[in-house]
Structure 1
Amino acid sequence: MTNKVMVSKKQYGINTETMALLPFYDEYGKVHTKVLERDRTLCVCGKPKAVVTFSCGYYGSSYKGRKDGASLIMGIRSRAPIVISEQLGIFFYTS
């Protein structure tokens, strides 16, 4: 059963329950992130990139380091998948 109630958070760490990060604008035109998990939906203050950056730091690296590493290994500069946590098998793909 999925909990459709929005839970507001100031920071969020991507984890094994995270399915998607979706940007949305509030009534004042400010970008926030809708986080879809397996069993709930959360609203996080800040852009999706801020959530990814925070999560990279939480798991011991920087967003820039993860992005540069992915570009070097795969040989592509844009839209390379970002490793959030290698140990947990969490990767971030952009569309």
Structure 2
Amino acid sequence: MNPTKKGDFEITSQTLALIATTTPYGKVTTEVLETHSKREIPVQPSRLVDEACRYFAASLPGRLAGTKQVAGFTHKPPIVISQSMGIYFFPTISPKRKDCSWIAHSHIHSFDSNDGYNTTIHFTNGTSIVVPVSPGMIANQIQRTAQFRFLLENRIKHSSVYTAEQIAEPFA
């Protein structure tokens, strides 16, 4: 996968987070944290997420719509990039904002509050980041991602052959 012309990067099961950073000139770029490395990519995090979704034959808007269909979440919805690889991410703020960061659900070990307004997220590989959102919001996002993951995996596990009427129902 080559999501940008400025370098090759692929969201994998080793990706911990895509952190929005702003350059001194006001451009939003991405600090990519992986289990064994860290690097800067000169595009916004949501663009990397969209390109990862497209690699798996979807798009970020499609994944957001899918989350709404499965779990009913409309605000800061978690998404699945690849269900078979277990790659689920949640946004720290609205995905429509350029400065939205994305956190991989499966790599979170714990989190704690710095001051009630910022949260330190501790990852399973021993690294940590500070995000400018409340610990209550992070707790909510972790719980919503777990619920979405359960609902989606349960739906897939118990799916059967659908009739044409069942398939057409969401479009009616």
TM-score normalised per structure 1: 0.84
Which residue of structure 1 lines up, in the alignment, with residue 56 of structure 2?
Answer: 59
Of the three residues 10, 30, 35, the one matched with 1:33 is: 30
User: Match of 1:78?
Assistant: 75
SS at match of 2:41: strand
Size of the aligned set, in residue pairs, is: 87
C-alpha distance in structure 1 between counterparts of 2:85 and 2:34, whole Å = 16
Distance 1:64 1:11 in 2: 23
| Higher strand fraction (1 or 2) | 1
User: In 1, Cα distance between the equivalents of 2:35 and 2:63?
Assistant: 25
- Say which structure, 1 or 2, has more relative contact order (CA 8 Å, 6+ apart): 1
Which runs of no fewer than 5 residues in structure 2 stay unpaired? 1-5, 93-172
Which of 16, 21, 25 is the equivalent residue of 1:19? 16
Greater per-residue helix proportion: 2
The question of 1:10 aligning with 2:7 is answered yes
CA distance in 1, matches of 2:65, 2:90: 15
Partner Cα distance (2:51, 2:8) in 1: 8
C-alpha separation between the residues in 1 aligned to 2:8 and 2:90?
20
CA RMSD of aligned residues (A): 1.3
Distance 1:28 1:91 in 2: 32
Contact 1:13-1:58 at 8 Å conserved across structures: no
Q: Calculate the TM-score normalised by the size of structure 2.
A: 0.48
Deviating 4+ runs (over 6 angstroms):
none
Tell me how far apart the structure 2 counterparts of residues 38 and 58 of structure 1 sit (CA, whole Å): 21
User: Helix, strand or coil: the match of 1:14?
Assistant: coil
Identity of aligned residues (%): 34
Bigger CA radius of gyration: 2
Report deviation, 1:11.
4.7
Counterpart CA distance in 2 for 1:72 and 1:80 is 11
